[in-house]
Structure formats: C-alpha cells, structure tokens
Structure 1
Amino acid sequence: MDSIDFTDSSSRTPSLDNELLSAFVAVVDNNGFTAAANQLHKTQSTISLRIRTLEERLGTRLLQRTSRQLTLTQDGETFLVYARRLLQLQREALSVLGHGDHDGVIRFGLPENYAEAWLPALLGRFAERHPRIRPHIHCRMSSELIESLEAGELDLVLTIQHKSQRHGVSMGHEEVVWAAHQDYRVAPNAPLALALFPDHCPYRERALEALARLGRQWSLEYTTQSPTGLRVAVNLGKAVTVIDRRAMPENWRILDEADGFPALPPAELTVRQSPSFQHPAGDTLVDLLREQLLS
C-alpha cells in the first residue's frame, strides 16, 4: 500500500480545502462522478479535476476507476474517515463562532413509516437545539429519497439500504418480520395473499425472494405506498405483509417458521447528507436519529 505523503516538494503541508473534500465524499457516497456532479451542481469535469488535485496533493491514489465500477483504494478508505471528520469539524467551528444558525431550512427525507413513529419527538428535540432552522419534511420510498438527494432536492435522507446501493452512514439494523392481523389464519394449499409496498421497496424484495427460495406460491392482493393503507389492508385479516418489528401494531401477530414463513434478513438504515449542505444542523439531526434508533 502506498503511504499518504503529507508533504509536497517544498516540505509544506498540502492544502485540503472544503471543495476538494466535499467532492471526494460526494463521489464516494454517490458511487460515481456524474451523480456527485449533479448533487454539488458542478460539471463532471470539475469534480474529476478536484479529485485529481486532491490525489496529487496527498501523493496517493484514493479511487480505483474502471469502465464498470468505482472503488476506494486502501488509502482512500483511510482518508474517507478523515475527510468526513474534517467537514464535520468545519461545521462545528462555524456553529461555535455564531455562523451556524442563521435562519434557514433543512430538507429532510425519510420513509413514511418512520415519520409516523419518530417525527413528533425528533422535531421537538431538534427545535430545542436549532430554533432558527425550519425542517422541511419529505416522506417517500427510499429509492425516491436517494434520487431526490442526488438531484439536489434534499439535504439529508434516512433510507433503508438497498442491496445495489452500498453507500451512506449506517445507523443500525431493524428486525424485519412477516406479520398479519391477529385473526388471520394461514391457508396451506392456497397462494399466499400479500399486502406490500410497490416495486423497489427493500421489504418487498426480501419477501418475494424468501418466498421464491421456499417455492411458495403467492398473490399480490394489495399494493400501496402508504403505511396507513397497508394497515387497512392487513386489518381485513386476509393478507400478510412484511414490516419492521418495532412498527408492528398491537393487533397484529408475527408469522414465523412454525407458521411456514422463512426468517427474513434485517434491514440496514443509513443516512446520507449532501456534501453541499454544510450546516451543523445536519449533524444534530443525524445524532438525534441515532439516539432514536438506540432507544
């Protein structure tokens, strides 16, 4: 592994300015230069130049680029931790010096089921720390939230990690279970009636993949983007769904292997923040989300 050279030809420490660090973090979080450029509202050539400049100043390669994929080198993995920390320290310094909390807005997106459970307490605690910052809340599916973040429409998103999207800061895992109304009875010889969120939902993917491995026939009876609509469908007592355990209503019951349902892998919750949003309020919101998950 090449060691990071922190001296240039003049024996001076290289300058690591905010634009270079933000470009690097954006490329990693978006898994590419095009999406990073869109997020930072720059051209792709500008982002490429900033990455090249950063690598030259550090004296090492941070990214390994091929025609098909982009990966971090070992030095890149190491430096990413420090790049995130430096950006966070900058935001904290501005906040301490009184530059952080002018009137403003933070555009925060999360899935609706988490909004229902967490937002009232979360926003109350956030307002205590940043009374001059107004959160604009966007409730959508995880895939849509990521698209909005990459398009520069959101500043911070909490999402359920998709298998094909390995980026973001992990906030922990949620137990995912099969569930139905307490009056539901399994019909062994009939196709399994399902109530699920639309395509691109990670929970839906888990459910259908598990049933395929089991060789179990199924029928999609209800599709909705709304957790409220999903509860209405399941409360009819005719269909099964997949849900994170902590969000399960009291009048539902878990269906496990004893009922003929395979165990499901847990869901990883991740947070992504736009590198162009440099405000300590974002760090506060991430900290509050992490505390909420641990409660």
Structure 2
Amino acid sequence: MSDATLSPAILRRMRRLSLRQLIYFVELQHHGSFSRAAVALAISQPTLSQQIAQLEEALGVALLQRGTKLLRLSDDGELFLVRCRRILGMLGDAMEMLDGERRTKTLRLGIPSYLSYSAVTELLRQFRQRQPAVIPYLAEMPAEEMSQFLNEGELDAGFLTLPTPAKLMEDMRSQTIWEAPYRVCLSRQHRLASKKVLRAEDLAELDFVLVPRDYHRTHYDYQLNALKGLGIEPRIIDTDVSTTQSQMALAAAGLGACLISPGTAAIPDDLVLKETEAAIGTHALALFWPPASKNPLLKSFCDCARSFAAQAKR
C-alpha cells in the first residue's frame, strides 16, 4: 500500500484526518478511559470525545464499543490501533533522523502496565552492565496488547505473567525469570489480620479485588479458579483498578482483599500478607520473544535472562 498511488477518494478522506486525532486515539487506548487520557493530554474530556468522534466519522467506522463500563475497542478499532502505532512510530523515527539526534532503539521490550516487578528492574540492570552502550526501549502495555505486538514483531521481547493470553502465538520462546506463591493481602486492621494462616472458611468471608479481566483474561481466570480450587465461591468486587498499587489501596481502606506475591511490589505498613492453609497458586513471570527475530542484541538479553533465572534458583 505504501508504494501504491492512493485513490482520489482515499486522499479526500485522509484530508479530513489530523495527526492529533491519531495521537489522541492511541493515548485513549493506553490510558483506558476518556478522563485519564484527557488529563495526560492536557485537554478537556469533551474535546477528546469530539476529536475521537470526528476520527470515527472520517473513517466511516466505530472505533469504540459504546454502552460498556470499561473502555473497549471494536474489531475495527483494534485493527486501526496497530496501524496508528506504526504510523506514529515511523513519523517519530523520521523526526529524530531529521533532527540529527536519532537514538538507536536496538532492543524493544514490553513491560506490564498493571504490575511492577523488582525482577524486571534487576534484570535490566544486569543487562546494562553487560551492554552499557545499549539503552532498551521500554513500552508499557496490557498483556493482551503486548501479545499482539509480539506476534507482529513490533516488540523484540516482552514480560508476561503465566498463563499467557490466548492470542499469544504458540511458537514463542520463553524463559521464566521469577515466581512466588500468592498471598492474601489484607488491611492490618482487618479482624483476620491477626491469624497466622487463613483457612478456606476465612477466605469465604472476604471480598476480593482482581485486576479487570480485560487487562489479562487468562491471568484473571487463573486467579479466580485458584480461589475456587480452595472450595469457596469467591466474592469479586466490581472495580476498574488496573495496578497492584490500586488494589492494595482498596485493601488498605478495608474494601476488600487482593492476591499479592512477595516481590511484585513494596507492601505498605498498613497491609499484611497472609499465608493460606492450602496453597492458592504460584505467580510466575516469563520473558517471551519471537523465534524468528533478527535482532542481534536479543540473544545477549535472553542469555542475561537465563543467567538471572539460574541465580534466582540458587
């Protein structure tokens, strides 16, 4: 398509688009809501809504699914998002090249947008010691989106929790770099916080906060089934919080419990992690990369990941 002559009809429609609208659309998906995206873009929410509506009108398709609580893209929206990112990426590369300040983004890594892992930080630090001249390009995104980027070669590698999203191609190579058992995170003021070990009947009394299923469907189902495996029917609070820190904030306020593994985030003093009589399950993080990658630095990074994993097991 890039080498073909555009038809007059397509050119007329393209003249109705603006680069700003593409940026707004990508940022809207990244932040997950009109309110958060508007704040990040320093514009009003009505302005953002108007620009997205004009973009949809120019394209002749609905990019968003209306009538849902969470922001969801339509099938056309998902398809257009991938192309928008490519367009903005190529434009950014061209601008850097013209400025004479182009940085060599030699290693493109995806990191989770819903959890922070000290293991990822330490692995990146060790890689920088091996390759001090390389500055990895980090892209923070939900697991579903990261899987698509890995499938299409937009990322050299990415960190995903296990089990992985169903859309991730089966031939991806991987290396588990960290794992730890799940613990129940409670407010220190909760009446169950004084118990050394929680039993199934204790867990049956709790309300649980999980990351919304749309952020990582298979991981959400894994946690839910792990709780059900204890013989309880867990009560899940309906929320739209997408980070571990937000889950812990709700737990600290006494609004529910969440599942946290040691090593995913610093635990505030007003929270406690409690073991369970029967194990809930294991939380694991792995590095994934396409087998056909041509990036020469990827091998060095994967070797570093293997060494890091071996050290963690000692």
Band the TM-score falls in, shorter-chain normalisation: 0.5 to 0.7
Aligned to 1:66: none
> What SS does the aligned partner of 1:137 have?
strand
Matched, 1:198 2:212: yes
1:290 to 1:244, Cα distance in 2 relative to 1, 3 A: farther
Aligned to 1:147: 148
- Structure 2 counterpart of 1:184, from 190, 199, 203: 190
Deviation at 1:188, TM superposition (A): 5.5
Aligned to 1:244: 261
Matched, 1:210 2:229: no
Q: Pairwise mapping of residues 1-295 of structure 1 onto structure 2 (< 5 A)?
A: 103-112=104-113, 115-162=116-163, 164=166, 167-171=172-176, 173-186=179-192, 192-199=206-213, 200-213=216-229, 214-247=231-264, 249=267, 251=269, 252-258=271-277, 262-293=278-309, 294-295=311-312
TM-score, structure 1 length as denominator?
A: 0.53
In the aligned structure 2, how far is the partner of 1:155 from the partner of 1:189?
Answer: 41
In the aligned structure 2, how far is the partner of 1:154 from the partner of 1:189?
Answer: 40
1:232 to 1:250, Cα distance in 2 relative to 1, 3 A: closer
> What SS does the aligned partner of 1:138 have?
strand
In the aligned structure 2, how far is the partner of 1:241 from the partner of 1:198?
Answer: 12
More strand by share: 1
Which 4+ residue blocks in structure 1 deviate beyond 6 angstroms? none
Deviation at 1:131, TM superposition (A): 3.6
Gaps of at least 5 residues in structure 2 are 1-102, 193-200
Given that 2:107 and 2:137 are in contact with CA atoms closer than 8 Å, whether structure 1 keeps it comes out as yes
Amino acid at match of 2:276: E
Amino acid at match of 1:171: T
Amino acid at match of 1:255: K
Given that 1:106 and 1:136 are in contact with CA atoms closer than 8 Å, whether structure 2 keeps it comes out as yes
Deviation at 1:215, TM superposition (A): 3.1
Aligned residues: 191
In the aligned structure 2, how far is the partner of 1:189 from the partner of 1:117?
Answer: 28
Gaps of at least 5 residues in structure 1 are 1-101
Given that 1:113 and 1:247 are in contact with CA atoms closer than 8 Å, whether structure 2 keeps it comes out as no
In the aligned structure 1, how far is the partner of 2:141 from the partner of 2:219?
Answer: 14
Deviation at 1:221, TM superposition (A): 4.5
1:181 to 1:222, Cα distance in 2 relative to 1, 3 A: farther
Deviation at 1:112, TM superposition (A): 4.0
**CA-to-aligned-CA distance 1:183-241 (integer Å, 9 cap, x gap):** 23349598532221111355432332133342334031433222232232222233111
Deviation at 1:129, TM superposition (A): 2.8
Amino acid at match of 2:191: R
Deviation at 1:121, TM superposition (A): 4.0
Given that 2:118 and 2:263 are in contact with CA atoms closer than 8 Å, whether structure 1 keeps it comes out as no
**CA-to-aligned-CA distance 1:79-121 (integer Å, 9 cap, x gap):** xxxxxxxxxxxxxxxxxxxxxxx94421101224665524554
Given that 2:163 and 2:219 are in contact with CA atoms closer than 8 Å, whether structure 1 keeps it comes out as no
In the aligned structure 2, how far is the partner of 1:155 from the partner of 1:231?
Answer: 32
In the aligned structure 2, how far is the partner of 1:168 from the partner of 1:150?
Answer: 12
In the aligned structure 2, how far is the partner of 1:185 from the partner of 1:203?
Answer: 29
In the aligned structure 2, how far is the partner of 1:189 from the partner of 1:154?
Answer: 40
Q: Cα RMSD over matched residues?
A: 3.3
